[in-house]
Structure 1
Amino acid sequence: MEIKKAVIPVAGMGTRFLPATKSMPKEMLPIIDKPVIHYVVEEAIASGIDDIIFITGRSKRSIEDYFDDSPELESHLHQKNNDKMLKMIQDISSMVDIHYIRQKEPRGLGDAILTAKKHINDEPFAVLLGDDIIVNKKPCTKQLIDNFQKYGRSTIAVEEVPLEKTGSYGIIKGKAMDDSLYILEDIVEKPKPEDAPSNIGAIGRYVFTPEIMECIQKTAAGVGNEIQLTDSIRLLKEEQKIYAYKFTGKRYDTGDKVEYVKAIIDFALKNEETMEQIKEHITDLNL
C-alpha cells in the first residue's frame, strides 16, 4: 500500500528553549527565514505524503496560522508588486492537505499519535517529529517508505549515537540484515549507558502499520508517567516484524541548542543571500 498520510506531533512544551518557547512553539523557531516545521512538512511532501495531521496543543496556534492563507499580507505584497514573495507565501498555504487535532493534555508521544486513529482509518502511515530536520537528496521518510513497501512492515529510522547520550533516545537491540537494516529485537526508552543494549538510537521518523494504534491503546504509562511510543513498539514487535533502518542524511535535532545553532550556520553557508558574509564572519573570528 502507498503511504499517503503522515502524523506530525507538535504538542510538546519545548522546555529546552525557554523562555523563547513560553509564547512561541519550538517548531516555529526559524532557520534563517523558514521555521523548523516548514522543513519537516517539505520532507513529508517530497516523500509522497499528501495528507498531514498535526497533533497540536495549547499555544500552538501560530503553526496553524503559518500554513493558513494570509489575505492581508498577500494584498500588501500584491500592491508592492512583490510577485516572488507573494508566490512563496501563497505556496505555503497550498503545500498539502493539513488537519489539526489537539492533544488535550501532554500524555506522551504514543498518546499524541493515538489521537489521529480515526483519521488514519486503518491505513499505514508515517510519523515525523516536528523538531528534527534531516537533509539528504532522498528524504529520510522516503527511505523508510521504500523499506515498508519492500517488506510490508513497520520501519523506524535509527542512527548511531554517543554512548553518553543514550538517555535521550529509544535504544534498539537488532539483528543485522545488512549494513543499514536490522530486524528489531528490542527497544528501550532512554536507558543509562550501562543499561543500553547498543548505541543505535531511534530518531524522529517512523512508518507504521495501522496495528500500532491498538498497541498504543494497550500501553500503560511508562517513563515520565507518559504513554511511551517505544513501549507500544515493543508490543507491536510481539505481533509482527519491525525493521530499524539506518538512514542516510544529516540530522539536526533543533530541540537541542547546540544542534539548532549548527543548523543555522550550515543552512546560512548554503544560502545565496548569506553564504559569503557568513564565511567572512567565520574567518574574522579566527577560531
Structure 2
Amino acid sequence: MEITKAVFPVAGLGTRFLPATKASPKEMLTVVDKPLIQYAVEEAIAAGVKDLIFVTSVHKRAIEDHFDKNFELEYNLEQKQKRELLEVVRNILPKGVNCAYVRQREALGLGHAVLCAKPLVGNEPFAVLLADDLISNPTGDGALSQMVAQYYYQKCGVIAVQNVPKKDTGSYGIVKTRQDESIEAIVEKPKPEKAPSTKAVVGRYILTPEIFTHLENIPTGAGGEIQLTDAIARLIKTQRLIAYPFEGVRYDCGDKLGFLMANFELAKQDPILGEKFIQRVKASMEKDKNR
C-alpha cells in the first residue's frame, strides 16, 4: 500500500523554550522564515503524503490557523498588489492535501500521541514526523522521501537513525541491527555502558497499522509514559523493520543550541538572504576580533 498519511505529534508543552512557548506552540517557532511544523509538512508532502494528521492539545490553535485559509490576509495582500506574498500564503498547502486534527487529552508520551491518531490512520501504513527534528538535504531528496523509497523496496517498516556519540545514548532510542540493517533490538534511552550500539532513532518513522495493537497493550515505560520505542520492540518480534541512515543534516530543534544552529545554517543556504547573511556574520566576527 502507498504511504499517503502522516502523523505529526504536536501536543507537547515546549517547556525548554519558555517564555517563547508560553502562548505559542513550539512547533510554530521559526527557522529563518518558516515555522518548524511547516518544514516537516513540506517534507511529508514531497514524499507523497496527502493526509496530514496533527495530534494536538490545548493552546495549539495556531497550528490549525497556519494551515487554514486566512481570507482577511489574502484580501489585504491582493488589494495591495503584493502578488509574491499572496502566493506564499496560498501555497502553504498545495491542492489535494488535507489536514485533520485530533486531541491528545493527557500528556502520556509519544506512543500515546501516535495511538490517538488510530481512528484517522485506519488500517494503512503511515509515517510519523517529529517537527523538533528538522532534517535538511538541499541537494537531494528529503529524509521521508528516502524512507518511502526504502519502504517500497524493502516491503517493510522503516525507522530513521543516525550515529551519535556513545555518551549521548541516554537521550535517544537506540537500535541494534543485523547485517541487512533489520532491527534486532531497540532500547529507550539506555546508559552508555548498556547501549547496544550508537545508532539513535531520529524523528522519522514509517510504520504498519499493527503498531496500534502494541500501543494499546504495552505498560507504561520510561517516565511513566506510553513509549513508541516499547511498542516497536514488540513489533519487531513479528515483523521486519529496518533502520535507515538517511542522507541529510539533522538539527535537534527541541534543544536551544540545535535550534540556533538550524537558523544559522539554513540562513546561509537561503537563496535571497544567504550571501548578505554570511557577509554580516563575517563582519561581526571581524569586529569582535578587533575589540
Same fold (TM over 0.5): yes
In structure 1, what is the Cα distance between the partners aligned to 2:45 and 2:144?
10
In structure 1, what is the Cα distance between the partners aligned to 2:9 and 2:178?
29
Q: Which moved further from structure 2: 128-137 or 41-50?
A: 128-137
Contact kept, 8 Å, 1:125 with 1:207, in 2: the verdict is yes
In structure 1, what is the Cα distance between the partners aligned to 2:280 and 2:190?
40
Identify which of 155, 159, 164 aligns with 2:162: 159
Question: What secondary structure sits across from 2:92 in the alignment?
Answer: helix
The CA deviation at 1:154 is 1.2
In structure 2, what is the Cα distance between the partners aligned to 1:242 and 1:93?
31
Partner residue of 1:69? Answer: 69
2:173 matches 1:170: yes
Contact kept, 8 Å, 2:39 with 2:131, in 1: the verdict is no
In structure 2, what is the Cα distance between the partners aligned to 1:243 and 1:101?
29
Question: What secondary structure sits across from 1:92 in the alignment?
Answer: coil
Q: What whole-Å deviation, never above 9, does each CA across 1:95-134 have from its counterpart, x for those lacking one?
A: 6211000100110001101111111111000111121111
Question: What secondary structure sits across from 1:21 in the alignment?
Answer: coil
1:124 and 1:172, CA in 2 relative to 1: closer, same or farther beyond 3 A?
same
**What does 1:197-208 align with in structure 2 at a 5 Å threshold?**
197-208=196-207
The CA deviation at 1:176 is 2.4
2:234 matches 1:241: no
Q: What whole-Å deviation, never above 9, does each CA across 1:27-68 have from its counterpart, x for those lacking one?
A: 100111111111100000000001110000111110001001
In structure 1, what is the Cα distance between the partners aligned to 2:47 and 2:271?
26
In structure 2, what is the Cα distance between the partners aligned to 1:56 and 1:135?
25
Partner residue of 2:8? Answer: 8
Contact kept, 8 Å, 2:174 with 2:195, in 1: the verdict is yes
Question: What secondary structure sits across from 1:172 in the alignment?
Answer: strand
Partner residue of 1:116? Answer: 117
5+ residue gaps in structure 1?
none
Q: CA RMSD in A?
A: 1.2
Q: Which moved further from structure 2: 18-27 or 205-214?
A: 18-27
Task: Write the letter of the residue equivalent to 1:52.
Answer: L
5+ residue gaps in structure 2?
none
Question: What secondary structure sits across from 1:16 in the alignment?
Answer: helix
Partner residue of 2:26? Answer: 26
In structure 1, what is the Cα distance between the partners aligned to 2:98 and 2:71?
19
The CA deviation at 1:199 is 0.7
2:134 matches 1:133: yes
Partner residue of 1:59? Answer: 59
The CA deviation at 1:277 is 2.6
Question: What secondary structure sits across from 2:145 in the alignment?
Answer: helix
Question: What secondary structure sits across from 1:22 in the alignment?
Answer: coil
In structure 2, what is the Cα distance between the partners aligned to 1:201 and 1:12?
21
Task: Write the letter of the residue equivalent to 2:160.
Answer: A
Contact kept, 8 Å, 1:69 with 1:93, in 2: the verdict is no
In structure 2, what is the Cα distance between the partners aligned to 1:276 and 1:234?
46
2:267 matches 1:268: yes
Contact kept, 8 Å, 1:11 with 1:60, in 2: the verdict is yes
Question: What secondary structure sits across from 1:197 in the alignment?
Answer: coil
Q: What whole-Å deviation, never above 9, does each CA across 1:259-286 have from its counterpart, x for those lacking one?
A: 1111111111122332233212221213
2:35 matches 1:35: yes
Question: What secondary structure sits across from 1:266 in the alignment?
Answer: helix
Partner residue of 2:149? Answer: 146
Contact kept, 8 Å, 1:171 with 1:189, in 2: the verdict is yes
In structure 1, what is the Cα distance between the partners aligned to 2:274 and 2:156?
42
In structure 2, what is the Cα distance between the partners aligned to 1:155 and 1:276?
37
Question: What secondary structure sits across from 2:131 in the alignment?
Answer: coil
How many aligned residue pairs are there?
283
Runs of 4+ in 1 over 3 A off after TM superposition: none
In structure 2, what is the Cα distance between the partners aligned to 1:61 and 1:176?
45
The CA deviation at 1:94 is 4.2
